[in-house]
Structure 1
Amino acid sequence: MVSLKDISKACGVSVATVSKALNDHSDISKETKENVRQVAEKLGYHPNAAAQALKTNKTNNIGVLFVDEANSGLTHDYFSHVLDSFKKRAERSGFDITFINGDKTRANNMSYLSHAIYRGFDGVMIACVDFTDPQVEELIKSNIPVVTIDYMFSNRISIVSDNVSGMRELVSYIYKRGHRKIAYIHGLESAVTQGRLSSFYKTLQDFKVTIPDEYVVASPYRDTDSAFAMTNKLLDLKDPPTCILYPDDFAAFGGLNAIRQRGLRIPEDVSVAGYDGIDISRRISPRLTTVVQDTEEIGSLAATKLIDLINNPKGTLIEHITVEGELDEGESILNIANKN
């Protein structure tokens, strides 16, 4: 194993100078730092992580708390892209990523906070959890730097997709294409659901459109079976909707199946729209009308802000950042404007 003494001998400088150069001390010239680093890399030097942690009180390790109750794990289309972007940005800054065990049946019986302390995380990113869970609240109230995704705490940095404007743009597009009988199969209770549902109602109110209560039903996110059942429920109504919105693109596939099993065509007989903009929804026929969330920006911003908070806790603003999505008009909303 290459030591500081080996680098010192190769560079012709003291061991102390090598140590300061590798730790970017200000009293070492730029030229010396560059030379020491090049020699260290050439010799294959790797600093001892445990020793570095003792010196700097940092492990360069970030914890990720991701608890997907639908058990789709990292196949979750939206969050997998967010996490991939987060991971890439963190690794470019020299941080490793470790998942916090979110299984409530875990053998060690450690809380999220205990796990974070045990692992020595410099910070934690939280996404896709029950934010009202006492264990999550305990972690939020701790001194560990935390950034949340799609949920806001007053004392924590959050990166939130703009669900309000996204839903407004989607409903406005559907309205302009002549639809007035618009149903919404929304996700179960969460901050994301509340934002989208309120925006759905507000946009229709602005257009002076009133829809019956039975047009709005709940279904879990990414649950195709439930979306299938809810779609049949809507289409069985005496006055069924001409357009159905789904909680997300993946769930929408269940609705598409229900519609087609009835011998109905999309969008000629029933128009549909999803949310998220996952890859497969833009490759099917007809291409699904959806709101494409900027997962790359959300993940990258979350990593950037968390690393800023770790490196500069006193000078980093606690802020709530909203990331806008983009409407993909697709092909699944029929234009019936001229028929009304």
Structure 2
Amino acid sequence: MVSMKEIAKKCNVSVATVSKALNDYPDIGEETKALIQKTAEDLGYLPNSSARALKTKRSYNLGVLFVDQAHSGLTHAYFNHVLESFKSTAESKGYDITFTSGNVSGKKMSYYEHCRYRGVDGVVMACVDFYSEEVQELLRSEVPVVTIDHVCDGRISVLSNNVQGMEKLLEYIFSQGHRKIAYIYGDDTSVTKKRLSSFYRMMQREGIQVPDEYVRPARYLDADLSARQTRELLELKDPPTCILYPDDLSAVGGFNEIRERDLKIPEDISIAGYDGNNIARIMEPKLTTLCQDTSAIGRIAAEKLVELIEQPKTALIRSYTVDGTLFQGRSVKKLG
């Protein structure tokens, strides 16, 4: 590994001058600074992370707290894309990421204790039980935090615009002539509550009375449960003409149930998903869905967390909302 001493020897300067140049100090000439930085790059110099931490009082390590109820881990398509964007943005700013689990070598510790143990500079929280005591402990702590898809007092949050997303989805379905619309919704979270409220408000705006049996609980990423709810909807005396699902994977469950009954999509029944995962584009027919901008959500979360760490006095504590876009697909029939 190349040392500052080797760079100093090659540039014929002192080690102290090399250190100042690599840390972009203003008290050395620009020509000398440029020479040292170019030499360091050519030699493949990498700063020692421990030494940098001692100097800056930062670890350049960001924690990620992600514990979804379905225990899908990084196979969770929506959050997988969000976290990939978060990771690439964090790395571009010189930060590594560490997943916060509360377990170290088999020893149980709280999320806050794990963050302290790993020495992370800040944490992004996504898809967790924000009302659990462990999460609340971390939210009340001095650790800089950015939350995704959940608003917490005194913390920066980045949100997919679920109200606008449901509006866009329903506006398209209305335009296709549908009025008998069922909604299979996901877990009891703030995201679900916003989508449900938007659903009912849009139906009310159109003067549509929604039968109670048209609105049914399920879970996110649970194709089997959505299939069972689809079965019950299809067996109603007055079944819907279109069924909405909590996510695209759940829509696959409904899709399979419909096909097993020898019904055709969208000729006999229309369906729509939510998220905009790749699966929507490989289904036949292609699934109508609301595409959430996962790239923007992850990028903004990383940018705001780094800003909170590096500029704590000027970082604005607020919510950032990211709009989605409609993918029309071909799973919603035009009636009339």
Aligned to 1:29: 29
State the SS of the aligned residue for 1:121.
coil
Match in the other structure for 2:174: 175
Distance, in Å, in 1 between the alignment partners of 2:102 and 2:217 is 26
* Two-structure CA RMSD over aligned residues (Å): 1.3
What is the rounded CA distance, in whole Å, between the counterparts of 1:140 and 1:106 in structure 2?
25
**Aligned equivalents of 2:299 and 2:30: distance in 1?**
30
> Which residue number corresponds to residue 2 of structure 2?
2
What are the within-5 Å matches in structure 2 for residues 82-121 of structure 1?
82-101=82-101, 107-121=106-120
SS at match of 1:18: helix
Structure 2: distance between partners of 1:334 and 1:2: 65
Q: Which structure 2 segments of 5+ residues have no match? A: none
Give how far 1:240 is off.
0.8
Give the whole-Å Cα distance in 2 for the aligned partners of 1:106 and 1:49. 23
Per the TM alignment, residue 106 of structure 1 is displaced from its structure 2 partner at its CA by 8.0
Letter in 1 for 2:268: D
| Structure 1 position 17, deviation (Å) | 1.1
Structure 1 residues 157 and 198: alpha-carbon distance in aligned structure 2, compared to 1, 3 A threshold: same
CA distance in 2, matches of 1:157, 1:16: 39
> Is the 2:102–2:109 Cα contact (8 Å) retained in structure 1?
no
1:231–1:258 CA contact under 8 A, matched in 2? yes
8 Å CA contact 2:62–2:121 kept in 1: the answer is yes
TM-score normalised by length of structure 1: 0.96
Match of 2:146 in 1: 147
Task: Check the 8 A contact 1:67/1:102 in 2, yes or no.
Answer: no
Q: Does structure 1 retain, via aligned residues, the 8 Å contact 2:60–2:120?
A: yes
Alignment TM-score, normalising by the size of structure 2: 0.97
Whole-Å Cα distance in 2 between the matches of residues 159 and 282 of structure 1?
A: 27
Cα shift at 1:309: 0.9
Higher deviation after alignment, 68-77 or 263-272 = 68-77
Q: In structure 2, what is the equivalent of residue 226 of structure 1?
A: 225
Output one character per residue of 1:229-288: Cα deviation in whole Å (capped at 9) or x when no partner: 010011111111111000000110000011111111101111000000001111211110
Contact 1:224 1:255 in 2 (8 A): yes
Aligned to 2:204: 205
Provide the rounded CA distance (Å) in 2 between the counterparts of 1:112 and 1:22: 35
Distance 1:191 1:106 in 2: 34
Letter in 1 for 2:146: V
Identity, % of aligned positions: 56
For structure 1, the 5+ residue unaligned runs are: none
Where does residue 15 of structure 2 map in the other structure?
Answer: 15
Detail structure 1 runs of 4+ shifted over 3 Å in the superposition.
Answer: none
Correspondence list, 1:283-294, <5 A: 283-294=282-293
Within 5 Å, give how 1:1-340 maps onto structure 2: 1-101=1-101, 107-336=106-335, 338=336
Residues 65 and 102 of structure 1 are in contact (CA less than 8 Å); yes or no, is this contact kept in structure 2?
no
Q: How far is 1:295 from its partner?
A: 0.6
Find the residue that maps to 1:272 and give its secondary structure. Answer: strand
CA contact (8 A) 2:61 2:98 kept: yes
